[in-house]
């Protein structure tokens, strides 16, 4: 019996080739224009800086434009799928209001990798903003 398909080992190798690249995660407001068609990182719609405004979505402390470097790069196999995961990113001692995130490859021209919709606004007020990565991983091939 012959079953056509892309070899899982090849998928794993593809993802592991990225292990030396730097990936970052940037946080965005609900009004940001992000989709699977986003090609590169842009600060448009990114969590704004503190501007002295009482409006919660104009507050940001403990966050730097461009986001955080992701750590804990891990590639694993789940049946016929190669899965890439990172550790949960955290902004300690922060005041942030965000609706989603963009993961991008900083090493390769800030190329977009994945858009993550939190499905609701997440807020931290003078505390830790923890973005818990989906258990199933954000990148699966």
Quick: pLDDT tens for 61-103: 788 899 999 999 999 999 999 999 999 999 998 989 999 999 9
Which of 21, 9, 109, 28 has its CA nearest to residue 70? 21
User: What pLDDT shows up at residue 58?
Assistant: 47
Residue 41 included in any domain: yes
* Mean local confidence (pLDDT), 44-53: 68
Confidence of residue 46 (pLDDT cuts 50, 70, 90): very high
Residue 3 included in any domain: no
pLDDT at 35 over 60: yes
Residue 2 included in any domain: no
Range of the domain at 14: 8-140
Residue 34 included in any domain: yes
Residue 108 included in any domain: yes
Confidence of residue 139 (pLDDT cuts 50, 70, 90): confident
pLDDT at 114 over 70: yes
Give the count of domains, the chain: 1
User: What pLDDT shows up at residue 54?
Assistant: 47
Residue 1 included in any domain: no
């Amino acid at each position: 019996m012959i079953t056509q398909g892309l070899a899982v080992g090849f998928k794993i190798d593809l993802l592991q080739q990225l292990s030396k690249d730097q990936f970052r995660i940037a946080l965005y407001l609900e009004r940001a224009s992000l989709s699977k068609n986003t090609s590169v990182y842009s600060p448009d719609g990114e969590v704004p800086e503190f501007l002295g405004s009482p409006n919660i979505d104009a507050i940001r402390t403990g966050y730097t434009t461009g986001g955080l470097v992701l750590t804990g790069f891990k590639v694993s196999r789940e049946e016929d799928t190669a899965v890439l995961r990172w550790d949960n990113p955290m902004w300690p001692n922060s005041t942030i209001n965000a609706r989603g995130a963009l993961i991008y490859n900083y090493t390769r021209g800030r190329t977009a990798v994945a858009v993550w919709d939190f499905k609701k606004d997440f807020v931290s007020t003078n505390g830790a903003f923890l973005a818990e990565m989906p258990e199933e991983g954000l990148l699966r091939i």
